[in-house]
Amino acid sequence: MTTHCCGSLGLGSGLGALILLSGCTTTAPVSENAPPFEARVEIEETAFRCPEYTITNNGSGMFWGSGSAQLVRIGDRPFASAFEHVPGCAPLNNARWALYERGPNGWRVCQRDDKDRTREPSPLGVSRSGRLLMSVNPTLAPWIDAIPDPKTGKIPRQGGAARPEFLEFDSTNPERNPSHLIPSWSGEPTFTDHSYRAFAADGENGEFILFQKVGYTHTEWAFLDKEMQWKTAQLAWPKGEDPKYSVWPGDRTPVNYANVVLSNRQVYYIGQSPYNIWDRIDPLDTETWGRGKWGWRMRKLHCAWTPDIAAVPFREWTVIDDTMADGGTIGMGDSWLAPDGRLHLVWQKTPIHPGLRDTHFPDIKRDWHLCYGVLKDGEVLEKRVLLSGGETTGPLYPSGYIGHPRLHITPDHTLFVLCNLMGLTPEAKLRSGTYAMRIAADGTVSVPVRVPLEHPIKSTFFTATPRAGNRLTEAADLLISDTIDAKRVARYVRIRFRPPCSPTVSITGPGFLLPGQGREIRLQAEVSDPQGDVSSIRWRLPDGSAQDGTSLKWLAPPSVGENVTVVAEATDKDGNTGRSARSLSLPPPELADADGLVSVEAEVLADEGGGKARVCHPVNVANASISYWHMSLGHWLAWDLDIPAAGEYELWMRYTTGCTGTRRSLLIDGKLPGPTFADIAIPTTGGWCTDRDQWAYMRLGPALELTAGKHRMRMTNLADGLGVDAFILRPNP
């Protein structure tokens, strides 16, 4: 265990020490457990709603332009560029921008585009003097009503030409109409609604640059200098793969979703390019490649650099990193050009598609890597892997893709890497969440410190990055893509990094109780504090009551249900608090203390047909569960029941499902035990227990009359997915 946690490749001190924090067996001194800094969440709120992807249905979305920024800050006011649906308009150009500002009373819309339509979100840039610019790309194509075609029944889809502009808002009066700044292009570039653009600002000098793709050959760029003069030119894409196999037509490969840095006329353009054919692919073996079969395929991280955008052409493209050896994918995270001319960047490497690996490349191991590098004058000075996880590198892996992880840089030039870690095992899943690592000026990297967000970051997010001209700030501003109550939202979060002073709390004890184990919760709070000045520990319980002390012993009343969360909060003498929450799964009162229960583990199958279920290890499972039971209708699973004595038994199931239309039928010994078992509707539990406990119990029908001895139970898929931990038979008294 010690080697597994603490000695894996390329981790540095990072992940090993993180696991150490969580109780991995080790001989290291306890003092190393103290976190190196604190990430305090000052604000966590919904900023605004975003349209569902299915409503705009144009291939884009609020967080699609993740290489640029849609969050900026001018003084104490954050601004965000939202992405809205234009009602009644057919895709593709059925979206518009809306400018939001966070004032003393929270987020409010300053104005929205009431004239033009577009396909993509509109990124922002600012200057230190308070200039607020937005890159827009209004369509020139005519409006088409979103009315289904009478013949096909489908809503028409049409794109077309577009006209890139910069809008300049009056940041002191953001309701005022913006002025339109139109680049003076050389020639007549054929811009479309598929801009794949990158927008960046040099905040110090008040200069701005836009890169916008044209066709499959190049990107046009437009630089607006501080004298409001334009310079425009082209950047040709790097050489790609053989056009016979390439993702896009031609012999060049576009570099998409790029990070652009502009500072004192120096420009970096860094992004990922797609390749179908990697080192071990024989192009003739078409079974092994193609997005339709094996998913997204960004494989090379390309960099173009010029020391002076106004005077010197871009140097030849370089490849910073790639996944050509193992069929993984690569995604640019974030970058920052320090005043000493060193460009810091973070990126993510994601392993090969699991199905492709299993079917064609069984020797390739699936591991995730969070990478960090330093460039100067366009050249790579160093590259390191900061965190790894996966089949050979441990159960907690860095997740994320393009636009993830992100950097936050404080005014003293300390870098923080904001990332998400996800657990692969039930134990590691409890440590899934958002983390920050600190990179000091000498390059040393801290252990990951958990950022106590109520909703950990799941996918893409923006920061008020210096790439958009923002000043360096102590606190980090984040705009996060999320789903709350099944609705898409942009969440705003502010995080401040500070020296450790608050208590740290961790909870030990069982994460769940099973049928027959009762409903009494016994947990321990383990508390530490950098100053050792903890003055109280309080448990907050789901029925609104509280208990004080390090030990909790609490009988959960039936009113709190089967999924409960308890919180342990420690307070020190200065009023600093630290808290930890534990979600527990409890048996329903009917099964809590019942005698003579017969439990059948769902993962112990007696037989199966019509498909192949998989054994899974989600959060709070007893041993394991089965899932992947949704693909084929008629896919059936069978279990043996060993009944100790003849009698009536209620049949219960401990299950999880994120689906809303799950249905199953059930036979005992080849016969329907009653009419209700022909079609059992199974309510959603809200998810699959991937990162939190979403188990539920259900009684499957009226009590069954069973004889003593073996019986064969068979359950068949009628619709949708279902994960099952166990079946429980409760003898009727």
**Binding residues for Ca ion, per CB under 5 A?**
501, 529, 531, 533, 572, 601, 622-623, 725-726
Q: How many CB atoms lie within 10 A of CB 526?
A: 15
Main-chain dihedrals φ then ψ at residue 291, nearest 5 degrees: -65, -35
Contact between residue 396 and residue 424 where contact means Cβ atoms under 8 Å apart:
yes
Q: How far is CA 273 from CA 213, 301, 324, 509, in A?
A: 13, 7, 12, 47
- Pair of tokens at residue 152: 């096909």
Quick one: 78 or 515, whose CB is closer to Ca ion? 515
Beta bridge partners of 268: 261, 305
**Minimum distance from CB of 624 to Ca ion (Å)?**
5
**Residue closer to Ca ion, measured from CB, 465 or 580:** 580
Q: How far is the CB of 660 from Ca ion (least distance, A)?
A: 24
Pairing of strands 577-585, 124-126: unpaired
Cβ of residue 626: shortest distance to Ca ion, in angstroms? 8
Q: Smallest gap, in angstroms, from Cβ of residue 619 to Ca ion?
A: 13
| Minimum CB distance to Ca ion, residue 36 (Å) | 15
Nearer to Ca ion, 459 or 517 (CB): 517
45 C-beta neighbours (distance < 10 Å), count: 12
Task: State the nearest-atom distance from the C-beta of 682 to Ca ion, in Å.
Answer: 17
Work out how close the CB of 696 gets to Ca ion at its nearest, in angstroms, rounded to a whole number.
14
Spatial neighbors of 550 by CB under 8 A, at least 6 apart, are: 524, 525, 526, 527, 537
Nearer to Ca ion, 263 or 694 (CB): 694
Q: How far is the CB of 618 from Ca ion (least distance, A)?
A: 10
Minimum distance between the CB of residue 604 and Ca ion, rounded to whole angstroms? 8
Looking at residue 12, what DSSP letter applies? T
Q: Work out how close the CB of 493 gets to Ca ion at its nearest, in angstroms, rounded to a whole number.
A: 24
- Output 529 or 693, the one with its CB closest to Ca ion: 529
Query: Please, which residue, 84 or 572, has the CB nearer to Ca ion?
Result: 572
By beta-carbon proximity to Ca ion, the closer residue of 122 and 620 is 620
* Nearest approach, Cβ of residue 396 and Ca ion (Å): 23
- Cα torsion through 144, 148, 154, 159, rounded to 10: 0
Residue 53 identity (one-letter amino acid): Y
Minimum CB distance to Ca ion smaller for 259 or for 571: 571
Residue number, 326 or 529, with CB nearest to Ca ion: 529
Cβ atoms within 10 A of the Cβ of 277, count? 19
Q: Taking the mean position of all CA atoms in its chain, how far away is CA 85?
A: 23
Nearer to Ca ion, 572 or 650 (CB): 572
Smallest gap from residue 386 Cβ to Ca ion (A)? 29
Is the previous residue joined to 672 through a cis bond, with omega within 30 degrees of 0? no
Which residue lies nearer to Ca ion by CB, 233 or 605?
605
DSSP assignment letter at 502 = S
CA within 13 Å, CB half, 641: 27
18's torsion region: left (phi>0), alpha (psi -120 to 50) or beta? alpha
> What is the number of H-type helices and E-type strands within the chain?
7, 48
Task: Write down the least CB distance from residue 122 to Ca ion, Å.
Answer: 45
Sheet holding 563-572, edge to edge: 546-548, 534-540, 563-572, 577-585
Going by C-alpha positions, the residue among 468, 466, 458 that lies closest to residue 122 is 468
SS3 string of 559-614? HHCCEEEEEEEEEECCCCEEEEEEEEECCCHHHHCCCCCEEEECCCCCEEECCCCE
Note whether 441 and 340 are within 8 A (CB).
Answer: no
Nearest residue (CB) to Ca ion, 241 versus 529: 529
- Bridge partner residues of 272 (DSSP): 256, 301
Give the nearer residue to Ca ion in terms of CB position, either 321 or 529.
Answer: 529
What is the sign, positive or negative, of the torsion defined by CA atoms of 256, 259, 263, 266? negative
Look at residues 184, 161, 45, 186 and name the one whose alpha carbon lies nearest to residue 102: 45
